[in-house]
Structure formats: structure tokens, C-alpha cells
Amino acid sequence: MSASPPILLDVNEHSRGSAGMLYVYPVVSRRAGGISIGINLNPNNACNWRCIYCQVPDLKRGGPPPIDLERMATELDILLQDVLEGDFLESRVADAKMRHLVDVAFSGNGEPTAAAEFPDAVGRVVAVLDAHRLRGMLPLRLITNGSLMDRAGVQRGVRTMAEAGGEVWFKVDGISSDARSRINGTRTPTEAVERRLQCCASLCPTWLQSCFFEFDGKEPATKDIDAYVAWVGARAHILRGVHLYGLARPSMQADAPHLGHLTSKWFDELARRLVAQGLKVQISP
């Protein structure tokens, strides 16, 4: 029996299993502009939210199983070794312009902070970065929906990220409870989003990340975008900036047929309004 050929990575290949590992996966990241090493603490495809644009296949409600931290750290060590000293970049990355490491990111098939081991996982990842002399050289990111930021353990993990020069990308796709219910499948009150964002930003440099798209051929409602600009603008002083992004890859959820891409012009106009409020903005339409 012959081994399967390795998957050649491009911006459309985000399979968490592309390196044959359980917790660690390399992706070509359009948003970050190179190779991102992802840490997936949700190998069971379970999340406490249900975003209509979510690209996770077979997404279910729930939390992660117990995480084998030893295995996670070993996988990260092996992949970093291959990227830094092996032929990983040349043999696996299709686009030569993307053949450089841009970050290590907790970004899983669910909410990473839902793992009870999250704070210890951050510590183990930082230790591996230290072993490769990458602490402070390679950005460490947490991609989160922010919903569990009230937990002491999550705060401990986020604090450790800050100590290692890391940053948080905190998801806010809508300001009203109605918008969050429609888009993210959560009834989180706005006061809770506010409290958690304030907490996160006080512990670690924090960017907002917001996904926008058409629904049934219609752009987001003007009242929702006005509310977004006003709310985010009023919090410019606690944020590093805002990442605006569109549908990079197809949604794997039931609402997928309703979703469509917004134009670059639409994103540019939203960015212009946020920049006018003193915010740094990055766009991946």
C-alpha cells in the first residue's frame, strides 16, 4: 500500500488534517499573508456558537473533549521543525509568495477558550516557541468569539498570551442581540459583549474581527452598519484595530445558499467610516 501524496496548500485548503496531526495544522492565510500554524483545540467540531458563515463541517453545539497537551506540544514542535529546517515550505506551499511563517494561532473547529486546558495550552505553546527561539519573533494569536472571557482560566491564558507578545482577535459581527442571534446563533446581551471585550483588551492587545456578507442578495441593513460603526468607534481607544472580512471560504452551515459576497467597494466604505473614528482597519473582502 502506498502513502497518500501530501496535500499542496493554497488559500482554499484549510483542512485541519492536512499535516496528518490532531491539534496542529498549517494553512495559507489570506488574512495574515503567509503560512499560519493553527492550534485546533476543538477536534470534535463543536462550538458554543453557530455562525451562519462558519466553515466547519458537521458543526455541532458543545465543547471540546479533553486535550492531550503533550501531543499538542509535540505536534507543534515537529511542524515548526519542518517549516524552519525542513522542506515544508518548498514542497507543500503552492504560492512562492506565501512561503513564510506569519503566526501561530489558536483557531480551531470551535471556540478555543472552551477547552478546560486552554490556559495550560497557551503555556505549552509559548514553551515550544521559546525552544525554537520564536517568542516575540512570531506573532501568537487567539481567534475567539470572546464568549468565555469572564472565566478566570481564560483570562489567565489571555494574560500569558500578552506576556509572550501575543494578541487576541475578538469576534463582533453585530451590535444588537437580534443581529447576534441571526448571525452567530447566540443570545448574548450587548452588555456582556461589552464587559468581555473590555476585560480582554485590558489583558492583551485586542483586535476586533467582523465578518460581513450579503443575505439573499441584500447588503447588511444600514441601521445595523450605523450601529456597528457607532459602537466600535466609541471603543476605538481600547482596540488595536479592526479586521473586516468576507466569505473567504464557503459556509458549511444550512444557511450557506443564502450567503453572498459583498464588493470591495462596500468594505472600503465601511473601512473609511471606521478610520474616520481613529481606528486602524485591515480588510480581507
Positions that interact with ligand SF4 (CB under 6 A): 47, 49-51, 54, 56, 59, 110-111, 145
Shortest reach from residue 65's CB to ligand SF4, in Å: 16
Shorter beta-carbon distance to ligand SF4: residue 145 or 210: 145
Shortest reach from residue 253's CB to ligand SF4, in Å: 8
Q: Quick check: 69 and 135 in contact, CB under 8 A?
A: no
Shorter beta-carbon distance to ligand SF4: residue 49 or 228: 49
Shorter beta-carbon distance to ligand SF4: residue 147 or 160: 147
Shortest reach from residue 175's CB to ligand SF4, in Å: 17
Shortest reach from residue 87's CB to ligand SF4, in Å: 32
Instruction: Identify the burial level of 252 via C-beta atoms within 10 angstroms of its C-beta, where 0-12 means exposed, 13-18 middle and 19 or more buried.
Output: middle
Shortest reach from residue 141's CB to ligand SF4, in Å: 14
Shorter beta-carbon distance to ligand SF4: residue 59 or 142: 59
DSSP per-residue codes, 238-270: G-SEEEEE--SS---STTGGGEEPPPHHHHHHH
Q: Quick check: 283 and 240 in contact, CB under 8 A?
A: no
Q: Please state, in angstroms and rounded to a whole number, the distance separating the CA atoms of residues 159 and 274.
A: 28
Shortest reach from residue 216's CB to ligand SF4, in Å: 20
Shorter beta-carbon distance to ligand SF4: residue 107 or 155: 107
Helices (H) and strands (E) in the chain, counts: 8, 12
Q: Please state, in angstroms and rounded to a whole number, the distance separating the CA atoms of residues 219 and 111.
A: 27
Q: Please state, in angstroms and rounded to a whole number, the distance separating the CA atoms of residues 131 and 243.
A: 31
The residue whose grid cell reads 481606528 is 279
Q: Please state, in angstroms and rounded to a whole number, the distance separating the CA atoms of residues 151 and 111.
A: 14
The residue whose grid cell reads 445595523 is 224
Shorter beta-carbon distance to ligand SF4: residue 54 or 128: 54
